[in-house]
Amino acid sequence: MDYDAVTEFETDGDTETLSALPQTGEREVETTLRPRKLDEFVGQPRVREQLELVLESARRRGVPPDHVLLSGPPGLGKTSMAMIVAAELNAAIRITSGPALERAGDLAAMLSNLAPGDVLFIDEIHRIARPAEEMLYLAMEDFRVDVVVGKGPGATSIPLEIAPFTLVGATTRSGSLTGPLRDRFGFTGQMEFYSDSELELVARRAATILDIDIDRDGCAEIARRSRGTPRIANRLLRRVRDYAEVRADGKVTRKIARAALEVYDVDELGLDRLDRAVLTALVRSFGGGPVGVSTLAVAVGEEPTTVEEVCEPYLVRAGMLARTPRGRVATAAAWEHLGLPVPAGATRGEQGGPNLFDQD
Ligand SMILES: Nc1ncnc2c1ncn2[C@@H]1O[C@H](COP(=O)(O)OP(=O)(O)OP(=O)(O)O)[C@@H](O)[C@H]1O
Ligand SMILES: [Mg+2]
């Protein structure tokens, strides 16, 4: 299968234990661990049920289903779900990504190679270039593209039929999708962060596939620190396995998991060094805020986008940081987590609060 199109989203070089983005060299193991069928897919009960209906009804009518958009933060299973859509339909899947479709011609080539019923998966679809996006409108609606031949006044547009297909788009930022593109999807699945008990099942399943000896408490310990994200749960499982093999007898218990995660700087709530640095700066240097994100970023020596896109979504979700119109504010839970007395008037964050990832 062609994964080249998506390599661009891997981080380069160093590996971050708690990043929701795929790390260098992780693609292979991720492929091994991908659920292949809807009933193997842990969690996301709403999206699963909705998709099941969309797919089953299309199957009964003998037509390709409506186009599907999958949106949500990194590592929650969008790519896995796209592949499942194709597998459930017994259809071939062609994979590309928004940034790879720079010219309309790139997309035209892709579209004209589709066989009837194929699934076309466009990852990071919000990054598609304008001309390709416009070509996609017609393709999605009428299974037709207009190919422009020649240049200047002599240019002619030749209509080209394409096979009926299903587009599956994935995006971490559905807010950046243009209205016309969003409207052409018949179904949007909004992927949510996973609960601890769902992540336990994810870890259990991966342990079985990778032949890792782990008990229930070991799985629970990993789940709790995985930031609601299966990709992170699977990664922590592998790091804990390493520790168990080198420093113990290979069996993962709660004690082993805790000791291992301490070595990797993953704290009780799944915060890493940078998350803690952000919270500490917010609380110690800025009295709990409000403070602007760029100021906060300078204080921890990071890019504002890293703070905004990597740290904040989880800190917000864990109820430790609030984004207000006046800036970032530490909640009572943040002071508590750092072991500091909570000042009077500190806001109480909402546990599992709104998913702010998409609001850019
Ligand atoms: N529901 C799930 N059950 C079991 N494993 C899962 C599930 N969702 C994701 N995973 C695991 O997490 C890894 C990441 O999933 P996937 O690549 O599908 O996420 P994604 O949403 O496409 O991420 P990105 O936004 O970075 O592209 C996969 O390798 C898979 O093993
Ligand atoms: Mg993906």
Q: What average pLDDT does this structure show over 88-105?
A: 94
pLDDT in tens, 165-182: 999 999 998 888 999 999
Residue 123 annotated in active site? yes
- Residue 107 · residue 207 · CB < 8 Å: no
Q: Is 231 annotated as catalytic?
A: yes
Q: How far is the CA of 290 from the centre of ligand 2 (A)?
A: 34
> Has residue 211 got a pLDDT over 90?
yes
What does the pLDDT look like over 52-82, one tens digit per residue?
A: 999 999 999 999 999 999 999 889 999 999 9
The pLDDT score that the predictor gives to residue 157 is: 87
In ligand 1, the atom with minimum distance to the C-alpha of 31 is: 29
> DSSP letter at 182?
H
How far is residue 212 CA from its own chain's centroid? 25
Closest Cα to atom 23, ligand 1: which residue? 75
Please tell me the predicted confidence (pLDDT) of residue 49.
96
User: How far, CA to CA in Å, does 233 sit from each of 2, 39, 79, 165?
Assistant: 25, 19, 17, 34
Stretch 115-140: mean pLDDT:
95
Q: What is the DSSP string of 260-276?
A: HHHHTT--TTS--HHHH
User: Which pLDDT does position 353 carry in this prediction?
Assistant: 43
Question: Residue 357 — φ and ψ, nearest 5°?
Answer: -60, -35
Q: Which residues 6+ apart lie within 8 Å of 306 measured at CB?
A: 274, 297
Identity (one letter) of the amino acid at 69? L
CA of 78 to the centre of ligand 1 (A): 6
Helix (H) or strand (E) holding 321: strand 321-324
Q: Whose CA is nearest to atom 12 of ligand 1?
A: 231
Residues with CB under 6 A from ligand 1: 9, 21-22, 30, 33-35, 41-43, 74-80, 170, 172, 202, 205, 230-231, 234
Alpha helices in the chain (DSSP H): 27-33, 45-61, 78-88, 104-112, 130-142, 179-183, 196-210, 216-224, 230-247, 254-263, 273-280, 293-300, 304-306, 312-317, 332-337
Q: Is 184 annotated as a binding residue?
A: yes
Distance, CA 57 to ligand 2 centroid (Å)?
26
Q: Quick count: other Cβ atoms within 10 Å of Cβ 131?
A: 16
- Is a pLDDT exceeding 70 seen at residue 355? no
pLDDT of residue 2: 38
pTM for this predicted structure: 0.86
**Two structure tokens written together for 256:** 């082993």
Q: Which of 17, 79, 229, 331 is catalytic?
A: 79
pLDDT of res. 174? 86
Q: Return the best residue to mutate from 11, 79, 232 for the ligand 1 pocket (most ligand atoms within 8 A of CB).
A: 79
Q: Among residues of the chain, what percentage have pLDDT more than 70?
A: 92
**What one-letter code names the amino acid at 302?**
E
Question: What is the set of domains in the chain, with CATH numbers?
Answer: 34-190 (3.40.50.300), 196-263 (1.10.8.60), 273-358 (1.10.10.10)
